[in-house]
Amino acid sequence: MTQAELSELVKRSEFTPVAGLSAEDCVTLYYYMQLTRTFEMRLASFYRQGKMVGGVYLGTGNEATSVGATYTLEDRDILAPTHRDIGAHFVKGESLRAMALQLLGRAEGPTGGKDNGLHQGNKEINTLGMISHLGAMISVAAGAALASKIKKSGQVAIHFIGDGTSSIGDFHEGLNFASVMELPVVYIIENNQYAYSTPNSKQYACDWIAQRAHGFDMPGIVVDGTDVVEMYRVTKWAVERARRGEGPALIESQTMRMRGHSEHDSADYVPQKVMEKWEDKDPIDILKNYLRDWGVLTDVTREQIDEQIESEVEKAFEYALDAPVPEGPEAANGVYAR
Amino acid sequence: MAEITYIQAISEGLREEMQRDESVFLLGEDIGNYGGAFKVTKGFVEEFGEERVIDTPLAESAIFGMSIGAALQDMRPVAEMQFSDFVSTGFNQLVNNAAKIHYRWGAAVPMTVRMPTGGGVHGGPFHSQNTEAWFFHVPGLKLVAPSNPYDAKGLIKAAIRDKNPVLYFEHKYLYRREKQELSGDDFLVEIGKGRVAREGEDLTVLTYGSMVPTSLEAASHLESRIDVEVIDLRSLMPLDMELIIGSIKKTNKALIVHEDIKTGGIGAELSARITEEAFEWLDGPIRRVASIDTPVPFAPSLEEYFMPNPDKIAAGIQQLWDY
């Protein structure tokens, strides 16, 4: 749905902006989060139906973090997402159709079937394609921010990192470099408690990963990543600070991976009590309650948005499922830029 | 025309590209005020400023990652490895990130990596290696290895203007030993094109980098008896197969010479390709003269034993000629 279509549905009579977010903004955030959930649940069912090639990595529980943080960016800014950030891609401007084509490995998609998952970049909307070696993109995002600094273009970069990624050497190299050079980049750790099956207790010994920011001389902030308004507020502060030339920041979003590492994984290593605790903190439910309490959106209107999203997702997948797969010999093309 | 050294040719090429194109910038360890471990970038900070001549922390992976990120924002970074041996700590960024981006999602990564390479300077196991074969196996990278000032300048400029990640293997032994008169004109050496360093009819030596002058010396020792053709590959990826096969069809004998160790070196692939493409034209086995399969030893006597030299190459030529 377009911003204008969403605006028409907003009840704005008595709303005072929260964290700089207007009533329209709040409804737009809801749209992207619900879109993410709907899109991903469709992927999960395709996986079970055997329609997907390869693994399916979902961001259920991560919607507020991914969408709320990315919503702080301007069109020209740089986004380096990770593999549970479908929502971030959508907010930055990736189309549903392109996303569906990508995840189904179709010829027309952003990688033309050459790479899987959320590995695509898009020069037009300035997203950087991730690689599976987590941590590698930390310095790549810094390099994009360095280009902004050299060109004095005022662009800011956001890069999402997982909790597991904080253990690899590239984390240290990238954050140190970014801080030494005071680059306009904001790092957001999506701390979803598990790296595949490894719990945080085996990943790091400190209380919060954000504590490490102190050693790099940058702000380190822990935020409730299930609350999109909080996520937006804190990220906005860091992005504005970076845009003013005051350097990078490290934000740790506390959230939960509500499914397995990939759809093949039942995640039975996560204690039931832990899952139940986090089920009470579903990011979309939290925002729904806000919208109702603030009188921004009635349940009836919200359901209209949900139906519209269902139909948009349906259309995107209908198109992608019928789209051709790449021809075999295409595998030989594109190694070099010409 | 003034005579300049190989290392001055690299500096001139870098300077000219930085003057020509504002998107070109340098990053590496100690390259700023200090001017680089080998002084290739001496005076660059004064001319171009600290924002385009960046002294980095000691972090090879981040140096390459930053280069990739900047290249994706349409800059043209030139990253310096202080010694090519240290590339191993940034390996992943080159082989899994830079090399694969265009294939994966179509974005060009116009970055250059300067790789001070090779032995003969008594640097020991970690300051002397030839690392080109590590990257020869990775689709998406281009590799060049100049042997003289003209190619050093023409190839660094071509590497910077290329839309792909280019690893530029500059040989430390040649830095101040190779000299040439160069015109001040703006010229490029095309990546993917070798050259005939010495014309001959009897036997072809295929080589690159420091082994070009060494092979030429060996060829001149033998010139009264054997008319040796020496091909300077210049570009290791892509290889100039047309030039290579043309020479083999003329001389019918191939000797491959490289300073890198023998096993799994570029010579192995060259040998296989010649066999595939020109087997009927050969009248002897393809042979290799290369370093022995050990780490690069430190003591001069050991390093001398380890590496090819004119005598060892001449012996290889003679044995193949006698076959």
Query: What's the rounded mean pLDDT across residues B22-34?
Result: 98
How many Å separate Cα A139 from the centre of its chain? 18
pLDDT in tens, B116-162: 999 999 999 999 999 999 999 999 999 999 999 999 999 999 999 99
Residue labelled with tokens 């109702």: A292
A138 inside domain: yes
Q: What percent of chain A has pLDDT over 70?
A: 99
Mean pLDDT of chain A: 96
Integer CA distances (angstroms), B283 to B205, B218, B227, in order: 15, 22, 16
Mean pLDDT across B99-115:
98
Give mean pLDDT, residues B92-111. Answer: 98
Contacts with B195 (C-beta within 8 Å, 6 or more apart), sequence order: B151, B231, B232, B234, B243
Q: Is the pLDDT of residue A242 over 70?
A: yes
A292-301's contacts with Cβ under 8 Å and 24+ in sequence apart are A294/A15, A294/A18, A294/A23, A294/A26, A295/A11, A295/A13, A295/A14, A295/A15, A296/A10, A296/A11, A296/A12, A296/A15, A296/A23, A296/A26, A296/A27, A297/A9, A297/A10, A297/A11, A297/A26, A297/A27, A297/A30, A298/A11, A301/A9, A301/A11
Q: Which residues of A touch B59 (CB under 8 A)?
A: 139, 173, 176-177
Name the minimum distance, in Å, from the CA of B214 to any CA of chain A. 33
Instruction: At A258, list the tokens.
Output: 């509500």
Does the CB of A108 have a partner CB in chain B at under 8 Å? no
Confidence at B224, pLDDT banded by 50, 70, 90 = very high
Q: Do A139 and B69 touch (CB under 8 A)?
A: yes
A9 assigned to some structural domain: no
**Looking at the domain assignment, is residue A88 inside a domain?**
yes
What is the pLDDT averaged over residues A203-224? 98
Q: At what angle do helices A136-151 and B60-72 cross, to 10 degrees?
A: 50
> And the tokens for B57?
């922390």
pLDDT at residue A10 greater than cutoff 90? no
Chain B contacts in chain A segment 181-220 (CB below 8 A): 181
Contact in structure between B257 and B264 (CB atoms under 8 Å): no
Residues of B with CB under 8 A from a CB of A: 25, 51-52, 54, 56-57, 59, 61-62, 64-75, 77, 92-93, 96-97, 100-110, 139-140, 142, 163-164
Enumerate domains of chain B plus CATH numbers. 2-182 (3.40.50.970), 195-322 (3.40.50.920)
**Residues ≥6 apart with Cβ < 8 Å to B316:** B255, B257, B287, B289
What is the Cα gyration radius of chain B? Answer: 19
Q: Determine the structural domain holding residue A210 and report its residue range.
A: 25-323
The CA distance from A29 to A35, in Å, is 10
Q: Which residue of B has its CA nearest to A115?
A: B104
Q: Is pLDDT at A311 greater than 80 in this prediction?
A: yes
Give the number of other Cβ atoms within 10 Å of residue A311's Cβ. 10
* pLDDT for A11 beyond 80: no
The one-letter amino acid at A150? I
Task: Return the closest-CA partner of residue A242 out of A146, A125, A123.
Answer: A146
Number of A/B CB contacts below 8 angstroms equals 139
Provide the 3-class DSSP secondary structure of residue B170: strand
> For chain A, how big is the Rg over CA atoms in Å?
19
Residues pairing with A105 in the sheet: none
pLDDT score at A291? 94
- Predicted pLDDT at A3: 82
Q: How many other CB atoms are there within 10 angstroms of residue A257's CB atom?
A: 25
A291-317 mean pLDDT? 95
Contacts of A149 in chain B (CB under 8 A): 51
E strand segments, A97-248: 157-162, 185-191, 194-195, 198-199, 220-224
Q: Is residue A274 part of a domain?
A: yes
* Dist CA B19 CA B16 (whole Å): 5
Assigned domain for A332 exists: no
Q: In what order do the strands lie in the sheet with A157-162?
A: A78-80, A157-162, A185-191, A249-254, A220-224
pLDDT at A234: 98
Residue A13 lies in a domain: no
Rounded to an integer, what distance in angstroms lies between the CA atom of residue B183 and that of residue A64?
61
> How far is B233 from B195, CA to CA, in rounded Å?
6
Region A130-159: what's the mean pLDDT? 98
E strands present in B159-216: 166-171, 179-182, 195-198, 203-207
- Lowest mean pLDDT of B147-156, B163-172, B180-189, name the range: B180-189
Within a domain: residue A15? no
**Per the CB < 8 Å rule, is A145 touching B54?**
no
Terminal CA-to-CA distance of chain A, rounded, Å? 37
Average the pLDDT over A118-141 and give the result: 98
Q: Sort out which chain B residues have CB atoms less than 8 A from A336's CB and list them.
A: 102, 140, 142, 163-164
> Dihedrals φ, ψ of B213, to 5°?
-60, -35
The C-alpha atoms of residue B307 and residue A330 are separated, in whole angstroms, by 43
Of B281, B270, B195, B176, nearest to B235 (Cα)? B195
**pLDDT above 90: residue B2:** no
**Can you tell me the distance from the alpha carbon of A270 to that of A279, in angstroms, rounded to the nearest whole number?**
13
Which residues touch B105 (CB under 8 Å, ≥6 apart)? A110, A111, A114, A115, A119, A120, A121, A122, A129
Which stretches of chain A are assigned E, i.e. beta strand? 78-80, 157-162, 185-191, 194-195, 198-199, 220-224, 249-254
Q: How confident is the model at residue A15 (pLDDT cuts 50, 70, 90)?
A: confident
User: Measured between CB atoms, does A139 come within 8 Å of chain B?
Assistant: yes
d(Cα A325, Cα B8) in Å, to the nearest integer?
A: 52
Q: Can you tell me the ipTM of this complex? A: 0.96
Distance CA A89, CA A40 (A): 13
pLDDT band, residue A2 (cuts 50/70/90): confident
Q: Which of A18-22, A165-169, A204-208, A284-288 has the lowest mean pLDDT?
A: A18-22
Given phi > 0 = left and psi -120 to 50 = alpha, else beta, which region is B286?
beta
Tokens of A177: 């470099």
Distance CA B232, CA B227 (A): 16
The CATH number of whichever domain residue A194 belongs to comes to 3.40.50.970
Number of domains chain A contains? 1
**Which amino acid belongs to residue A2?**
T
**A219: in domain:** yes
* Interhelix angle B149-161/B6-20, nearest 10 degrees: 30
Q: What is the pLDDT of residues B234-274, one digit of tens each?
A: 999 999 999 999 999 999 999 999 999 999 999 999 999 99
**Is residue B57 reached through a cis peptide bond, with omega within 30 degrees of 0 on the bond before it?**
no
**Mean per-residue pLDDT, A5-16:** 79
The residues of B assigned a catalytic role are: 127
Average pLDDT over residues B11-30: 98
Mean of pLDDT values over A92-112: 98
Scanning the structure block, which residue is given the tokens 């390259």? B31
pLDDT of residue A13: 64
Q: Is the pLDDT of residue B313 over 90?
A: yes
pLDDT in tens, B44-67: 999 999 999 999 999 999 999 999
pLDDT the model gives residue A195: 96
Contact A93, A120 (CB under 8 A): no
Q: State how far residue A186 is from chain B, nearest Cα, in angstroms.
A: 15
**Arithmetic mean of pLDDT over chain B:** 97
Average pLDDT over residues B159-178: 98
Which chain A positions have a beta carbon within 8 Å of B56's beta carbon?
177
Tokens found for residue B307: 């590496």
| Closest CA relative to residue B202, chosen from B185, B219, B181 | B219
Predicted confidence band of residue B185 (pLDDT cuts 50, 70, 90): confident
Taking residues A65-69, what's their average pLDDT?
A: 98
Are B105 and A180 within 8 A, CB to CB? Answer: no
Count of Cβ atoms closer than 10 Å to residue A299 Cβ: 10
